[in-house]
Amino acid sequence: MMAANQDMSTSDGLKLAREIDPKGTRSIGVITKIDIMDRGVDAKHMLMGEEISLTLGFVGVVNRSQKDINDALRVQNALENEKK
């Protein structure tokens, strides 16, 4: 597991996974904090495995921000925003 707003190459989670699964054939990467990345920056290159490759790939986690909660953003609208 690694945060999207940090450098993947220095991730403690990836270092541990490499010790246990050196070839990356049994590891799934989880990228968290995608919701707090700077505007104009996306995690596409991370999710597509362009930076670090894992056979089983990566999954991204987007949480609701406090602003979304304060603005009463509906989950359906948040999902549509993610697709964009």
- Number of structural domains in the chain: 1
Q: Are 18 and 24 spatial neighbours (Cβ–Cβ below 8 Å)?
A: yes
DSSP H or E run through 3: strand 2-3
Cα–Cα distance for residue pair 28/9, rounded to 1 Å = 16
Residue 19: per-residue pLDDT: 92
Render each residue's pLDDT in the chain as its tens digit; 84 residues: 667 667 777 788 888 888 999 888 898 888 888 877 777 777 888 888 888 888 899 998 888 878 888 999 898 988 888 777
Residue 84: per-residue pLDDT: 76
The residue segments making up the domain with residue 75 are: 2-83
DSSP H or E run through 60: strand 58-60
